[in-house]
Structure 1
């Protein structure tokens, strides 16, 4: 497949599970989308017509416990981050995501089932050049002691995560990933969501985590991991935070060229940092060309060096 071309899915594939917060059964079907469409959620199963929402930062209406997308009429789909991470991590540019419930199914708490669905559907090149959103200067967002920071990076899209939990089983962990389909599949896709037993009663009484179980969540109490099968990686929690970052930053609408570092972050921080980046019209531009390779050749004014080829660069005004 030519990496300088946009991609979509060859056919449809469906996964079935439950919503981690609603506890209700839900079917999700991924399928093809046209050139430049991005990721389009189609909410089915509603009274009247289906409703669509484009997966962009502007469509985010909540980030407290998951990333929730909606429109002027209200929320449409929650827990969007894992399917978005799978699509972006596996190099898909354009896709439809049909969901017949209020939430993307949690599956086993990771993106593995969605990667398998992408494999089943197949990824195909489209007759249009791939476009990237290139970070041009540092942009930082801070929420309390949490920090999310973008910076320019010549090697493609890099995610760096630092977490620090008082729980002694987790503690301090770090993970850095230069994102590619191969590394996403191997290192990140199977990392599961995690939580704490003492939070469950509070969340469930507020109507959240009703579908949470040991089948889809890594659960810790004060000093122990409670899942009998153990961890998939010693640093699974940090890896899952990387997964969440990739999904949340997929809401940029285009694959990123740049690095993002998250310190004690979560969905709210990821969204705040992305919103800050997009709001600064001098901090990014759109470039076209091959998937990037490391190069010491600087971008020229008005152009960008992408994968050894000089591509036209578009300002935010005409992107």
Structure 2
């Protein structure tokens, strides 16, 4: 019911999955009402603060990006945002020295483990929630998504790929910190070997490897020597991405998010559609008591640009 931050500073080092460049990132405890704020130190030593909300996001095909794509921005934030959202962290400063978060091992597991070690600390201000009041849906090129009322925070994600390695997979569950850590946090990003040369030529996936991605070969088989971490790792990673994209809402959502053949673009469009209809949601401080509702108070994270449907 109350806002939370982390118990101590947390440090991460790695490479950006698209840039292939080294990056250092620190999570720093922050005061109430701060939200998730990225503090970028650029090559000239200038500091830029970028709030992780959908109104600060930009249209990109391969990652979730906030800021100015021609200037100060941070890319590929979805796995970190998913970990913070699922583990209940409302306020934190993200100090980073590059334009892309480290990919780590391609999922959110190392972020979750570090948050658990540092601890989550309750703060003296109530948390704001976004309660879904009616169903809102969107469609895009045969894919579809919707928000609908639900007593809790739930994700129902379905994918269907024309390859024997994936096929049709479904993940349905209410989101809790424990379930996210166990069922979703270790699900890695994935891609197809046939797309690698095209991505490299466009300047993407330069830091991608079998250490941080599940790769599907031209014969439809998994190339990674160790195989999959979950039998349905692909849909679990899509659910992980959906959690991270929802984290840009500017408030915790009480409702069910359902998607079919979704990705970053569809996730963002569904969130836009929800906030575009003032009769579809209400803001509450105490989710167990509807009398505490604050109808249609200003919500910063509306009108989010869309992201591309790719997983990486």
Q: Is the 8 A contact 2:48 2:72 kept in 1?
A: no
Given that 1:13 and 1:120 are in contact with CA atoms closer than 8 Å, whether structure 2 keeps it comes out as no
Q: Of 280, 293, 310, which aligns to 1:313? A: 293
For 1:75 and 1:225, how far apart are their aligned partners in 2? 37
8 Å contact kept, 1:288–1:311: no
- In the TM superposition, residue 21 of structure 1 has moved relative to its aligned partner by 0.2
The question of 1:263 aligning with 2:243 is answered no
| Equivalent in the alignment of 1:110 | 107
Q: Which runs of 4+ in 1 moved over 3 A?
A: 71-75
- Decide which of 185, 192, 213 is 2:209's aligned counterpart: 213
Q: Say yes or no: does 1:66 pair with 2:63.
A: yes
Which residue, out of 102, 116, 119, partners 2:116?
Answer: 119
Q: Residues 134 and 149 of structure 2 are in contact (CA less than 8 Å); yes or no, is this contact kept in structure 1?
A: yes
2:184 aligned partner: 188
Q: Say whether residues 1:251 and 2:231 are aligned partners.
A: no
Quick check: 2:58–2:69 contact (8 Å CA) kept in 1?
Answer: no
Q: Residues of 2 paired with 1:73 and 1:36: CA distance?
A: 29
Q: What is the rounded CA distance, in whole Å, between the counterparts of 2:207 and 2:73 in structure 1?
A: 18
Contact 1:61/1:75, CA 8 A, preserved across alignment: no
Does 1:146 find its partner at 2:143?
yes
TM-score normalized with structure 2 length:
0.92
Following the alignment from structure 1 to structure 2, what is the Cα–Cα distance between the partners of residues 31 and 159?
29
**Residue aligned with 1:317, SS:** coil
C-alpha separation in 1, matches of 2:41 and 2:277: 35
TM-score, with normalisation over the residues of structure 1? Answer: 0.90
Distance in 2, Cα, partners of 1:75 & 1:230: 38
- Distance apart, 1:44 and its partner CA: 1.4
Structure 1 residue 311 displacement after superposition = 4.7
Structure 1 residue 274: Cα displacement: 0.8
Q: 1:136 to 1:74 in 2, by over 3 A?
A: farther
Q: 1:86–1:311: structure 2 CA closer, same or farther, 3 Å change rule?
A: farther
**Who is 1:300 aligned against?**
none
Q: How many residues align?
A: 298
Aligned to 2:11: 14
Q: Give the match for residue 308 of structure 2.
A: none
**Alignment match of 1:287 (pick from 263, 284, 288):** 284
Deviation per CA, 1:45-78: give whole Å up to 9, x if none: 3424210111111111023101011149645100
Question: Is structure 2 residue 3 aligned with structure 1 residue 27?
Answer: no
Q: Measure the CA separation in 2 of the matches of 1:286 and 1:23.
A: 40
CA positional deviation for 1:95 = 1.2
C-alpha RMSD over aligned residues? 1.4
Instruction: Extract unaligned runs of 5+ from structure 1.
Output: 290-305
1:73–1:212: structure 2 CA closer, same or farther, 3 Å change rule?
Answer: closer
1:79 aligns with 2:76: yes
